[in-house]
Chains A and B, each alone.
Chain A
Amino acid sequence: EAGVAQSPRYKIIEKRQSVAFWCNPISGHATLYWYQQILGQGPKLLIQFQNNGVVDDSQLPKDRFSAERLKGVDSTLKIQPAKLEDSAVYLCASSSSALVKSGGPSDTQYFGPGTRLTVL
């Protein structure tokens, strides 16, 4: 089974520039998550999609960050304009279902390799 794919793996930009990240979840996984992991910290959820609908974007800085999952499969995360504090690893994860009533294998989130963003 192929894992979660992300690109690019690394990106260096100057502040105020724009950047976009791409994620392809595991085939058949309905739920997709974008996390931001700043060095030395655990990942922080930015946005969660269930199919092509947003379930939770409460921690997404909406003045500069946007994300979409138009066909319920691939997703893109965009930052425009970037700030120095956006330097982080951006992780995409997917799970097969958010609708299971009790914890089970489908609750498990599988992560992609991440994109390391450096804002200069």
Chain B
Amino acid sequence: EDKVVQSPLSLVVHEGDTVTLNCSYEVTNFRSLLWYKQEKKAPTFLFMLTSSGIEKKSGRLSSILDKKELFSILNITATQTGDSAVYLCAVRLAGGTSYGKLTFGQGTILTVHP
């Protein structure tokens, strides 16, 4: 069974701290890994990773994928209260009837205090 596990499940930090969120996966037929930020309802897209070792960066957020060890990390530097959200990791499968299917982890709840 395909599995995506995120850690930690929740994290409380103060503004200015740096956080690292983890996502490990065990899936058949990996295609890509995606990170989403979910503040109220709709997850909003952050990054898509397909190749190992290539860091994707957007402002204070960055992410990298290790396809050998089957994990990804999402880093947020100089955190702000607006970063408070649930961060979801999802793996996209390829091939057959699972084509395109996203399998999500349970999410990491990040709370940033002023």
Contact = CB atoms under 8 A, between A and B. Distances in A.
Partners in one complex: yes
Interface in A37-65: 40-45, 48, 55-56, 58
A110 interface: yes
A45 B42 contact: no
A107 B101 contact: no
Interface string A3-42: 0100000000000000000000000000101000000111
Interface residues of B, number: 26
Given A43-B104, A56-B101, A109-B102, A103 B41 contact: no
Interface string B70-114: 000000000000000000101010000111111111110000000
Given A103-B31, A113-B41, A42 B107 contact: yes
A55 B95 CA distance: 11
Nearest to B107: A42
B22 interface: no
Contact of A45 (B50, B88, B102): B102
Nearest to B44: A111
Contacts, number: 68
Given A42-B88, A55-B100, A56-B98, 20 more contacts: A33-B102, A41-B107, A42-B4, A42-B90, A42-B105, A43-B102, A43-B104, A45-B103, A55-B99, A56-B97, A56-B99, A89-B41, A91-B41, A91-B43, A98-B100, A103-B48, A107-B92, A110-B45, A112-B42, A113-B42
25 contacts: A41-B107, A42-B90, A42-B104, A42-B105, A43-B88, A43-B90, A43-B102, A45-B101, A55-B97, A55-B100, A56-B97, A89-B41, A91-B41, A91-B42, A95-B100, A98-B100, A103-B32, A107-B31, A108-B48, A109-B34, A109-B45, A109-B102, A111-B36, A112-B42, A114-B41
Interface of B: 4, 31-32, 34, 36, 41-45, 48, 50, 88, 90, 92, 97-107
Interface of A: 4, 31, 33, 40-45, 48, 55-56, 58, 89, 91, 95, 98, 102-103, 105, 107-114, 116
